[in-house]
Amino acid sequence: MRSILSDLVKRLDVKELASSGVIPWSAPVPCFGDLAHSKVATLGLNPSNREFLDDAGRELDGQHRRFHTLQSLGLTRWSDATAHHLRLILETCRAYFLRNPYDRWFKTLDHIISGTKASYYDASVGACHLDLIPYATARKWTELTLRDRSLLLAFAGDSLGLLLRDSPVRVLILNGASVAQRLQDIARVRLERQPMREWSLPRRARSHVIGVAYRGTVRTLGGVTLRRDLLVLGFNHNIQSSFGVTTEVRTAIRHWLARAAASAVS
């Protein structure tokens, strides 16, 4: 993973990437948790700015810090990063759930995946989280321009495949329809879509939002051959942000994941 991180760090000094909305002083986040010991991984779009900033927009520091930055590493530019700095960045990634994780986001998702007998918070049954883009941006993904999104995907589109290729991950769980669409684009596959009425989200003024389950296998990602079949499962609701995701819906998704992933994680 160190060679992948090294490339991601070097790309931060590329002018085009710096202009795409990335927080320029924040380190790349190749993974949340210990990828090397995870059979299950969840997938999102990109790290939240809350991994680096507090509610007032100030850089997290001290016991509140989650990941390294130029300041915490004592650097003025990323091109000065050495093997020592890369090791420090990777250590914060591996130990993320043992320090100060963003529980408001991860606790809900951990409950969803717990049916697979995996957890972010228990190393003996480890799970980790990955993102399509390992760079935090100042604005949410939905607020970025099409140009910025395209640039980010162009600069980091191969990183997910490289990380998964060298990992023991057998099940990749997609959190939300946007993630599912982007994953299909970079894997050049079409996942099976199954309407799930028990996942429907009620709306007063319009039709209910029907739940959708995604399922399929991939062998290549971003041009990288994985050398195995990777089971991909997902749901169209963004568990943390979709309005009206009830406890009943979360439980139904959890049970479906448990059944669908059983043979892959046993």
Lowest mean pLDDT among 86-90, 173-177, 180-184, 208-212: 208-212
Q: What is the rounded average pLDDT of the residues 114-137?
A: 93
2.40.70, 3.30.450, 3.40.470, 3.40.50: CATH of 2-265: 3.40.470
Grade residue 204 by pLDDT with cuts at 50, 70 and 90: low
Q: Rounded to an integer, what distance in angstroms lies between the CA atom of residue 164 and that of residue 67?
A: 21
> Greater confidence, 202 or 70?
70
14 pLDDT exceeds 90? no
Q: Is the dihedral of CA 118, 121, 124, 130 positive or negative?
A: positive
> Greater confidence, 155 or 148?
148
Specify the pairing of strand 209-221 against strand 192-201: antiparallel
> Greater confidence, 164 or 204?
164
Q: What is the rounded average pLDDT of the residues 70-86?
A: 96
| pLDDT tens by residue, 213-228 | 999 999 999 899 998 9
Q: Rounded to an integer, what distance in angstroms lies between the CA atom of residue 200 and that of residue 103?
A: 25
What pLDDT, on a 0 to 100 scale, did the predictor assign at position 154? 85
**Domain residue extents for the chain:** 2-265
Q: What is the rounded average pLDDT of the residues 30-34?
A: 97
Mean pLDDT score of the chain: 92
Lowest mean pLDDT among 68-72, 76-80, 207-211: 207-211
Half-sphere exposure (CA, 13 Å, Cβ side) for 214? 26
Q: What is the rounded average pLDDT of the residues 185-195?
A: 95
Q: Chain-centre distance of CA 48, in angstroms?
A: 10
> Greater confidence, 242 or 88?
88
Closest by CA position to 255, among listed 240, 236, 235: 235
* Residue 262 one-letter amino acid: A
Grade residue 126 by pLDDT with cuts at 50, 70 and 90: confident
Q: Rounded to an integer, what distance in angstroms lies between the CA atom of residue 139 and that of residue 154?
A: 18
What pLDDT, on a 0 to 100 scale, did the predictor assign at position 206? 66
Grade residue 35 by pLDDT with cuts at 50, 70 and 90: very high
Q: Please, which residues have CB within 8 angstroms of residue 38's CB and are 6 or more apart in sequence? A: 118, 126, 127, 128, 167, 168, 169
What pLDDT, on a 0 to 100 scale, did the predictor assign at position 261? 95
Q: Please, which residues have CB within 8 angstroms of residue 99's CB and are 6 or more apart in sequence? A: 66, 92
* Residue 133 one-letter amino acid: I
Q: Rounded to an integer, what distance in angstroms lies between the CA atom of residue 62 and that of residue 170?
A: 36
What beta strand segments (E) does the chain contain? 40-44, 127-131, 171-175, 192-201, 209-221, 224-235
Q: What is the rounded average pLDDT of the residues 107-133?
A: 93
What pLDDT, on a 0 to 100 scale, did the predictor assign at position 242? 59
Radius of gyration of the chain (CA): 18
What pLDDT, on a 0 to 100 scale, did the predictor assign at position 205? 63
Q: Rounded to an integer, what distance in angstroms lies between the CA atom of residue 64 and that of residue 237?
A: 30
